[in-house]
Chains A and B, each alone.
Chain A
Amino acid sequence: MDVPVLKQGHFLIATVQSALTDADLAQLRRSLVEQVGKFRSRGVIVDVTAVDVLDSFACRTLRDIAHMAGFRGAETVIVGIHPELAFTMVQLGLSLEGVATALDLEEGLAYLQERTTPAARKSSPLATRGAGRGPVSRGQR
């Protein structure tokens, strides 16, 4: 099952729509890293809202995506991890250390906007400040 990757300005948005096999995950990683180079993307969002299991292999793949995209100049943020999933992941010892996470696509976009807009604001460790969110919303996808 292919994961659709949308190009939105400087960002790539991959929306995982169903459970992925290991081969699908590997394919997603290849495809994203390739497209980051091709489009000279500044950010990658992987939306896992529809995912019901993130096991060690899936977490490792997500981390690899973040690192590999990072080497090619794009920051990655994983969005939409469900509470039950988060609970399970930390019990397994998989906390995606060093990879940015956000509540949903909207938050993820706001985070990347903030991180990639030079001198917009002084850098904050958080994605958003107060109510002022990024201009891109879910509806514009």
Chain B
Amino acid sequence: MPTRGTPTPNISTATATATAEAASTLLRELVAHLRQNRTQLREEWARRITEAELLTAMTKEEIFAEATSVYDNYVEALETGTFEALQAYARNLSERIIPRGVETHEVVGIVLLLRDVLARSLFAKYQTDFTKLNRILDAYEPAANRIANTVAVGFVQERERIIREQQEAIRELSTPVLQVRERLLILPIIGVIDPQRARQLTEQLLRGIRTNRAKVVVIDITGVAAMDATVANHLVQTVEASRLLGATVIVTGLSPEIAQTLVTIGVDLGKMTTVGDLQGGIEEAERLLGYKVVPFVEGAVEA
């Protein structure tokens, strides 16, 4: 049986036998203290945040307003032992501050600062009663850790969600399937093609062919710097798959370097129609579709 109620420096056993009821009494006392000193404590916290140069993307007023909200949610989580409201608030806060460039270390930093500010105030209040201080801290610390954890994890999850969304948007943007006229699609490819992007691109094009009832597709790879055997084979597969849907593919913008690479690695260029540049490709496509080439376009080519 550990000692209890006697002033002893043995912190670890001080509250080992405290009943749940005693712990909740302590938490109530703690919450009352945090409510009583709300103004002073959150001012202290906001000051420490500024001092530590955290949340520099936000104004003093904004910091104080957010600090107040976090503080109240924090105290509520301590009191009720439920974290849903705090979780929701953390997500909402993250959503607002992530676009402003607030970093993970800043969010973790401010929550740890709050933990520190509150712990210090507890020290000040109970410094004369060391046993009580220990018991209060034992009740406070697990809850505080869980709160810190909840806020930090909420922030990171929100950040990851935004990053995923952005990646998806970039991928979609990077491979636009454009309908230039009836039955003709253009797919300009820019940047690096890895197998995953190549697959996504192919699927997107095939769907585009079906929905637009395209007969001719011009794939322009002027913006592709390099191509290895894997990607070249993907290109050949895209051409073949398009044909299975009844569409003819014209590849334009093959740089001399890429042409050299393709020949070296033995890609069968006979399987695809290639035309020098995008304009030539579109003209060829229009010829295949039976459109007449109007004279001034021919003039423009010669110029």
Query: So, do A and B actually touch in the complex, CB under 8 Å?
Result: yes
> Across the two chains, which residue of chain B brings its CB closest to A96?
B244
Asked if B246 is at the interface (CB within 8 A of a chain A CB), the reply is: yes
Q: Which residues of A contact B (CB under 8 A)?
A: 79, 81-83, 85-87, 89-91, 95-96, 101-103, 107, 124-132
Asked if B202 is at the interface (CB within 8 A of a chain A CB), the reply is: yes
Whether the Cβ atoms of A103 and B206 lie closer than 8 Å is: no
A129 CA / B47 CA spacing, docked (Å): 74
**Contact residues in B for A83 (Cβ distance below 8 Å):** 203, 206-207, 209-210, 241, 245
Q: Which residues of B contact A (CB under 8 A)?
A: 182-183, 202-203, 206-207, 209-210, 213, 215-216, 237, 240-248, 288-291
B55 to chain A, nearest CB (A): 48
Whether the Cβ atoms of A90 and B241 lie closer than 8 Å is: yes
The 8 Å CB contact of A103, one of B203, B245, B288, B291, is B245
A101 CA / B209 CA spacing, docked (Å): 13
Whether the Cβ atoms of B290 and A101 lie closer than 8 Å is: no
Whether the Cβ atoms of A87 and B202 lie closer than 8 Å is: yes
The 8 Å CB contact of A87, one of B182, B203, B213, is B203
Whether the Cβ atoms of A81 and B244 lie closer than 8 Å is: yes
Whether the Cβ atoms of A103 and B290 lie closer than 8 Å is: no
What are 7 A-B pairs at a CB distance below 8 A?
A81-B244, A95-B244, A101-B243, A101-B245, A107-B246, A126-B248, A128-B215
The 8 Å CB contact of B288, one of A79, A87, A125, A131, is A125
Whether the Cβ atoms of B246 and A127 lie closer than 8 Å is: yes
A76 to chain B, nearest CB (A): 14
A59 to chain B, nearest CB (A): 10
A89 to chain B, nearest CB (A): 6
Whether the Cβ atoms of A95 and B243 lie closer than 8 Å is: yes
> Across the two chains, which residue of chain B brings its CB closest to A83?
B206
A111 to chain B, nearest CB (A): 8
> Across the two chains, which residue of chain A brings its CB closest to B243?
A101
Q: Which 5 pairs show the lowest CB-CB distances between chains A and B?
A: A129-B290, A83-B206, A86-B244, A102-B246, A86-B241
**Contact residues in B for A95 (Cβ distance below 8 Å):** 240-241, 243-244
Whether the Cβ atoms of B245 and A86 lie closer than 8 Å is: yes
> Across the two chains, which residue of chain B brings its CB closest to A132?
B290
